[in-house]
């Protein structure tokens, strides 16, 4: 993979390169990864500026990628054959994930404007709760066999399937409903 052109970057607009020397477990970041990250820092800064419109986030993303690449290099030494290409690919993936994460929420205004623009409707939870409580009270009043039959119906069994149940169960249900 070809390295991005970093010659066009003006150093006066670029913050200094800095990342942690160790990961959260205290392991040092591989010096080769730090060298690649530092060499690609101007490109990474501009890339984040262009894609996310938040260049201040570039340092955090470069640091996260450097930690990931360093860990991968420890596990798979062959990554070092094209470390810059691996770093660039990992950085592109990280920026894309950040882009998708940030675009999940869109801001549209104040609460009053949301209600006017979107005509919010909520289900009548009080009525649903009252119905459920009434149903529970009624079910508790039914005899055991009728309650058993009603539970079959609630579980989705058809009347034909319930009709194949023991005879005593089907005879007592109509009486319990009277």
Q: What is the mean pLDDT of residues 18-28?
A: 84
**Confidence at 67, pLDDT banded by 50, 70, 90:** very high
Average per-residue pLDDT in the chain? 80
Of 132 and 88, the structure prediction assigns the larger pLDDT to 88
CB 60 within 8 Å of CB 16: no
175 Cβ partners below 8 Å, 6+ apart? Answer: none
pLDDT digit string (tens) for 144-167? 888 878 878 878 888 888 777 665
Domain ranges of the chain: 11-102, 125-177
Q: Classify residue 34 by burial, with Cβ atoms within 10 Å: 0-12, 13-18, 19+.
A: middle
């Amino acid at each position: 993979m070809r390295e991005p052109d970093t010659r066009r970057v003006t150093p006066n607009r670029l913050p200094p390169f800095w990342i942690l020397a160790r990961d959260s477990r205290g392991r040092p970041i591989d010096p080769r990864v730090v060298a690649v990250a530092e060499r690609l820092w101007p490109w990474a800064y501009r890339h984040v500026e262009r894609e996310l419109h938040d260049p201040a986030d570039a340092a955090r993303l470069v640091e996260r990628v450097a930690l990931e690449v360093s860990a991968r290099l420890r596990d798979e030494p062959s990554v070092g054959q094209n470390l810059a290409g691996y770093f660039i690919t990992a950085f592109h993936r990280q920026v894309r994930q950040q882009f998708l994460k940030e675009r999940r929420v869109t801001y549209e205004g104040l609460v009053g404007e949301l209600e006017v623009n979107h005509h919010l409707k909520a289900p009548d939870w009080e009525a649903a709760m009252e119905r459920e409580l009434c149903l529970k009270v009624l079910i508790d009043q039914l005899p055991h066999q009728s309650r058993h039959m009603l539970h079959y119906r609630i579980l989705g069994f058809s009347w034909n399937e319930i009709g194949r149940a023991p005879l005593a169960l089907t005879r007592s249900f109509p009486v319990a409903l009277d």
